[in-house]
Amino acid sequence: MALLQVKQIEKSFGKKRLLKAVDFELKTGEILGVFGRNGSGKSTLLKILFGTQTAKTGSIKINESKYAVRKHFWNRNPVVADEVIGYLPQFSFLSQSSKVWDLIPKYFEGEEQDLIFRAPRMTKIAKRKVNELSLGERRYLEVLIVGNLKHPFLLLDEPFSMVEPLFKELIHEFLSSLKAKKGILLTDHYYHDVWQLADRNLVLKEGNLQEVNTLEDLVQAGYLRSK
């Protein structure tokens, strides 16, 4: 089992203090749901964890290894180089003009490629260009790629947004199968999908993370409207 520990993450933009002493833990074998309204700082937090955004203060610890949060890591980031944290951003990271079957070998070799090509519905996707795929097909492909990397921890930002039901179901099944060997942080405004998959849930409100155990807790936190 691997353990990701996040301590005292603070982030400001000008005079706006977006994140205030954010703390949480994530271990392999679980899915952590993070909720929050637009502008609450969810995506910023994920970028800090991945290393493409800096934080004012805080620390990231994976087992016994510590990582700074006050420098851009980019390719020299041990989190990237050591294949520890994988990140699915809201935007597409794939070359839109490339055919799917040409993209897979850029990320995987041998039997690892076969895992992607044998995934459900991939025979209908592989021959087409990325820009010819539906939103659901493209997002499913991106989740497959990130999920099959060797990283023990995954940060998934809006994997269900605008995804048609068929591919949403396939993403659900895939993430459920990954949980046995990875720790997954999942955030999406399609909150029912997150709630269905997550083992634990947090809500980001006014810069702090709060534990939520029921949908009523999300109402009390101002994330959902009361019925």
Where are the domains positioned within the chain? 24-220
Q: What mean pLDDT comes out for the span 215-221?
A: 95
- With 90 as the cut, is the pLDDT of residue 120 above it? yes
Q: What is the predicted pLDDT for the residue at 73?
A: 43
Classify the phi-psi angles of 214: left when phi > 0, otherwise alpha if psi is within -120 to 50, otherwise beta: beta
Strand partners, 155: 87, 185
CATH architecture, domain 24-220: 3-Layer(aba) Sandwich (3.40)
Is pLDDT of 170 > 70? yes
Q: In this structure, how many other beta carbons lie within 10 angstroms of the beta carbon of residue 118?
A: 9
pLDDT tens-digit series, residues 175-209:
999 999 999 999 999 999 999 999 999 999 999 99
Q: What is the mean pLDDT of the chain?
A: 90
pLDDT of residue 198: 98
Look at strands 3-13 and 16-27 and give their pairing: antiparallel
pLDDT digits (tens, 9 = 90+) for 68-108: 664 444 333 333 335 788 999 999 989 999 999 999 999 89
SS3 state of residue 122: helix
Query: What secondary structure letter does DSSP report for 130?
Result: G
Read off the pTM: 0.91
Residue pair 142/87 in contact (Cβ under 8 Å)? The answer is no
Strand segments, DSSP code E, in 14-164 are: 16-27, 30-35, 57-62, 65-67, 85-88, 153-157
% residues pLDDT > 90 (the chain): 75
